[in-house]
Structure 1
Amino acid sequence: MHEIVTREEWLEARRALLVTEKEETRLRDRIRAERLAMPWVKVDKAYLFDTPTGRKNLGDLFDGRSQLMIYHFMFGPDWDAGCPGSSFLSDHIDGTLVHLNNHDVTYVSVSRAPLDKIEAYKARMGWKFPWVSSFESDFNSDYHVSFTKEELESGTVFYNFRDMAGDQANDELPGMSAFIRDEAGHIYHTYSDYARGGEEVLTTLMILDRAPKGRNETETLSFVKRHDEYEQAPRAHACCA
């Protein structure tokens, strides 16, 4: 049980918390500025992806825009379905596409699962965002989100900018990478984040963080299921139906 106080006492506590929240906001602003100031790395390697409209290279995925955000969706070649956590993040994307596209940003998910599996799962989930396969490409390996059995058994794998124990890793792990293409057609890798680095994309978590019980989880995302696997389906609220 939380302490029960008067409205005046609550207001005092809320103002104290606001000081810390403002510190967080200023830190977030500083992080954004440092992120934008990061150096770039030219992408010289050719990558090919299977898409619903044929095989395309990395430059094609920009779809005529100068910026490309790629979500490394956890879906291995031998998996029957996409990762619940990656699916949770992807539930937040479709509504943002029109805003991203009109701000010169293309969003694409990439997985090593073959295209037919991706298309079937995408249809099951009802998603619209672009999603392509890197099944025959080194792309996932080069951006440190896919690992072979031999790599996992070797003792360590490189993920989230550090070595981690292979027995603590999966053959597929999540992340997001940013790219830019200049007028000459040169492509540069500008940023990546992994693990919990992209939590701010998950607006569900941002709302839960403000709810009385917070995330109410036993471990990270322990409460998350694919959206068609919850017992309670979405419905209109009685007061608003």
Structure 2
Amino acid sequence: MPEHRVGTQEEFDAARAELLAQEKELTRRGDELARKRRELPWVPVEKDYGFDTEDGPKSLADLFDGRLQLLVYHFMFGPPYDAGCPVCSSIADTLSPNAVHLKARDVTLICSSRAPLDKLLGYRRRMGWSLDWVSSGGSDFHRDLGFVYTAEELKPFLEGGYPATVRQMAQACGTDVASYVTEGPGLSAYALADGTVYRTYVTTARGLEPAMAYYGLLDRAPLGRHEEGEQMHWLRRHDEYDDKG
């Protein structure tokens, strides 16, 4: 444990009160951004995407499952992968138990990946998730949202050198670096109105942190995320940690 400033209870209370005011300001700012997010223009989805599901082929509209809102987590599990991305897996750990609560608010939450459905369902069994998972198969669903990259687009990244964590994650997925980084994570949102599907929101990278509950908790732990200088990513699939985590 690194050295840290030690103070009295009175000093803590004064500093905590000052921080609390800033936290409340951030919360109000978050509420304002949530309102602006809901006010984004809706874009009709005109392409006819097809998905392989446990119940057979479905369209994007079918995935709403009788509800008016749909959230899709674009899970990094490409066709050559043997297992899902560990980071995406940590996100699914958060998403799966929350799907039932979202249904109560007229929202269907699913995962979508490009790998064949049998691979996805086998991995889901291993992880113990109940979340619905579909395969976008050969459709452009992930590509059109910017979550699939071509060899030409990846060339500067691969030739310029990449962090050791990328190779680590590729190996964890049973594939090579080029195949691993072809996929990208993301979240997209949709509304169904009068038979038309509208895209209402898309995010990736740190925009996915609300689904990474552990980071919010680490931000409140004494050492925070404590990732600076680490050459390998600390995240593992939940069945791969040792007794100490």
**TM-score category (smaller protein):** 0.7 to 0.9
TM-score by length of 2: 0.86
In the alignment, structure 1 residue 147 sits paired with structure 2 residue 149:
yes
Q: Report the Cα offset of residue 21 of structure 1.
A: 0.8
Partner secondary structure for residue 170 of structure 1: helix
- One-letter amino acid of the counterpart of residue 29, structure 2: L
State which of 123, 134, 153 in structure 1 corresponds to 2:136.
134
Query: Which has a greater percent of helix?
Result: 2
Counterpart CA distance in 2 for 1:212 and 1:221 is: 21
- One-letter amino acid of the counterpart of residue 136, structure 1: G
Q: Report the Cα offset of residue 98 of structure 1.
A: 1.5
**Alignment match, 2:182:** 171
- One-letter amino acid of the counterpart of residue 20, structure 1: Q
Counterpart CA distance in 2 for 1:227 and 1:172 is: 22
Greater RCO structure (CA 8 Å; 6+ sep): 2
Q: Structure 1 residues 220 and 26 mapped into 2: Cα distance closer, same or farther (>3 Å)?
A: farther
Aligned CA RMSD, in angstroms, stands at: 2.1
**Alignment match, 1:210:** 220
Counterpart CA distance in 2 for 1:133 and 1:154 is: 29
Contact between 1:85 and 1:221, CA under 8 Å: does it hold in 2?
Answer: no
- Tell me which stretches of 4 or more aligned residues in structure 1 moved more than 4 Å: none
Partner secondary structure for residue 24 of structure 2: helix
Q: Report the Cα offset of residue 3 of structure 1.
A: 1.0
Long gaps (5+) in structure 2 = 159-177
Deviates more, 1:56-65 or 1:140-149: 140-149
**Alignment match, 2:4:** 2
TM-score by length of 1: 0.87
- One-letter amino acid of the counterpart of residue 213, structure 2: T
Counterpart CA distance in 2 for 1:150 and 1:88 is: 30
Task: Give the share of equivalent positions with the same residue, in percent.
Answer: 48
**Alignment match, 1:31:** 33
For these two proteins, the number of residue pairs brought into alignment is 222
**Alignment match, 1:193:** 203
In the alignment, structure 1 residue 232 sits paired with structure 2 residue 243:
yes
Q: Structure 1 residues 204 and 220 mapped into 2: Cα distance closer, same or farther (>3 Å)?
A: farther
Partner secondary structure for residue 189 of structure 2: strand
Q: Report the Cα offset of residue 50 of structure 1.
A: 0.6
